[in-house]
């Protein structure tokens, strides 16, 4: 369920949060990629490329498996493959994991060479220490049991491997750029997202989800508890997006 402008719905209680999120993504899967590119104005492409390049610069061992969790329609998987080719790196396999059948069905059409499995971030169907790199792009905010997911990431990733997170984090401090971002997220995005997807309610949850999420420093602390040491942090475009690359200890 990955997205540069990750959408959501009003959630009723903790028990059905994840189910409702998955259902929503199934419903908007057909317009998802179009809405993504329009709402982000394409700037997420460079963010994703940077995430791949910075990771490849750090992980120099042979890469047998890259796992993209909350993979959605497979965008990040495509950039892993593209940037690996540019860097002259060989990847044995790229696997997408997502609980939304609708989103992965679109992904399979876009990337028939990749493998997709239906699964939650807390129950990745892989053996212990099998992945060299695990990424999750604009999806960790919508994982209800985040602590369990981070523990699962630590189980799946090899010692010395990396977790790569791209996400909208809560602002550490407010200022002029915060005001601009806040106006776009609260006023402009729901209208545009609603027009493209015909589901405005789905795009009205984003500002709330960001405000209710973590700051970049809080995110790093949670990764540290799970067994990862942050090696690289970068904010993009007036702190709209944050990249965190952490190595498994």
* Secondary structure of residue 212 in the 3-state scheme: coil
**21: exposed, middle or buried (C-beta count within 10 Å: 0-12, 13-18, 19+)?**
buried
> 98 labelled as ligand-binding?
yes
60 in Cβ contact with 135 (< 8 Å) = no
* Secondary structure of residue 120 in the 3-state scheme: coil
117 in Cβ contact with 95 (< 8 Å) = yes
Q: Is the dihedral of CA 79, 232, 174, 150 positive or negative?
A: positive
> 137 labelled as ligand-binding?
yes
Q: Is the dihedral of CA 14, 125, 213, 201 positive or negative?
A: negative
**86: exposed, middle or buried (C-beta count within 10 Å: 0-12, 13-18, 19+)?**
exposed
Q: Which of 159, 181, 161 is nearest to 170 (CA)?
A: 181
> 34 labelled as ligand-binding?
no
Give the residue ranges of the annotated binding site for S-adenosyl-L-methionine: 73, 98, 137
Give the residue ranges of the annotated binding site: 73, 98, 137
């Amino acid at each position: 369920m990955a997205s540069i402008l990750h959408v959501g719905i009003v959630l009723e209680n903790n028990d059905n949060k994840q189910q409702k999120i998955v259902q929503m993504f199934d419903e908007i899967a057909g317009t998802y990629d179009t809405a993504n590119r329009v709402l982000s104005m394409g700037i997420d492409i460079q963010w994703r490329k940077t995430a791949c390049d910075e990771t490849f610069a750090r992980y120099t061992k042979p890469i047998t498996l890259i796992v993209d969790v909350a993979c959605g329609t497979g965008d990040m998987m495509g950039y892993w493959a593209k940037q690996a080719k540019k860097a002259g790196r060989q990847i044995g396999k790229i696997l997408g994991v997502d609980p939304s059948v609708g989103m992965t069905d679109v992904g399979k059409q876009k990337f028939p060479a990749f493998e997709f499995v239906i699964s939650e971030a807390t129950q990745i169907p892989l053996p212990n220490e099998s992945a060299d790199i695990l990424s999750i792009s604009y999806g960790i905010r919508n994982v209800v049991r985040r602590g369990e997911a981070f523990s699962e990431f630590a189980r799946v990733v090899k010692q010395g491997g990396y977790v790569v997170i791209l996400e909208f984090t809560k602002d550490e401090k407010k200022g002029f750029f915060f005001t601009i971002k806040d106006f776009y997220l609260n006023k402009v995005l729901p209208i545009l997202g609603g027009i493209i997807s015909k589901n405005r309610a789905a795009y009205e949850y984003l500002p709330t989800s960001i405000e209710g999420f973590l700051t970049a420093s809080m995110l790093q602390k949670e990764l540290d508890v799970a067994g990862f040491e942050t090696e690289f942090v970068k904010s993009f475009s007036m702190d709209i997006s944050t990249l965190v690359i952490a190595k498994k200890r």
